[in-house]
Amino acid sequence: MKALSYYRAPALMGTALDEPIRRLHEIYDRIEQSQDAWIKATPFRCPEGCGSCCEHFEPDILEVEAYFLAAWMFLHQRDRLSSMNYHSEQRGCILADPDNPYHCTVYEGRPLICRLFAYSGDRAKDGSVRFRPCKFMKGDYMQGGSKTYTEGELKELFGILPPVMSDLAGEAAILLPERSGDRYPLREILPVAIAKIQYVLDLAAFAEQAAKGGTDGDNDGDNDNDGAPQPKAS
């Protein structure tokens, strides 16, 4: 498993956000491993530079996914946080760049459905795994992009099954049990997550400063917390 340090800013460790973000990363890592094996064993491939899934679709995501993405952006795109336009009239995902051949601008922090789309299956009524290729995919076995492969066909043809979207989404949905798996438009929940992580980071910075200086951090010597950082507006 990959190291989890890339999102784990020290200020988040030990907070209520640390454990669910860590566990979500473990789910993401399992997806990547399963998809690597699936791609190696099958002929299904997205066309290079396609991005069709980003052009007209903006995901609804779990709150824990928003925290993961926000934490990733704090570590890798902090300068961008203050310039995000959540009210953009851009069609599709606000984090996609149509002029970039790779489209996604937060690829390593992207939500669950973005990781699973085109390279995951679902379950039939009997619980068996099935897979239907994206209509834009290239390669053998496409049959016009309309065929749904059954579990038996997948095992016979490729000897492997893809990750199942509903199973993994179900695992992610219980990481914040109090949220009951509620999903929100990305452009609505991401600024909320960014503001909460900013608040946690500010509190950690304040506590560290107070511990070093023995004051409340505002240098007036009264130790009354009136210099505590306030959460920044999203």
List the structure tokens of 182.
């509620």
pLDDT in the model for residue 135: 85
Q: How far apart are CA 142 and CA 44, in angstroms?
A: 8
Q: How far apart are CA 151 and CA 161, in angstroms?
A: 7
Longest dimension (CA), the chain: 74
As a whole number of angstroms, the distance between CA 71 and CA 65 comes to: 10
Q: What is the pLDDT of residues 159-206, one digit of tens each?
A: 999 999 999 999 999 999 887 789 999 999 999 999 999 998 888 788
| Domain regions of the chain by residue span | 18-211
CA distance 91 to 107: 19
- Strand-pair partners of 131: 149
Tokens for 188, please give them.
Answer: 């609505």
Q: Which two tokens stand for residue 121?
A: 């299956």
Q: What is the DSSP letter of 162?
A: P
Bridge partners of residue 183, in order along the sequence:
62
Contact 209, 134 (CB under 8 A): no
Q: Using only the alpha carbons of the chain, give its radius of gyration.
A: 21
The residue among 152, 157, 158, 159 whose CA lies nearest residue 130 is 152
Q: What is the pLDDT of residues 97-147, one digit of tens each?
A: 888 878 899 999 999 999 999 999 999 999 999 999 988 887 777 665 578
pTM for this entry: 0.84
- Amino acid 202: pLDDT: 87
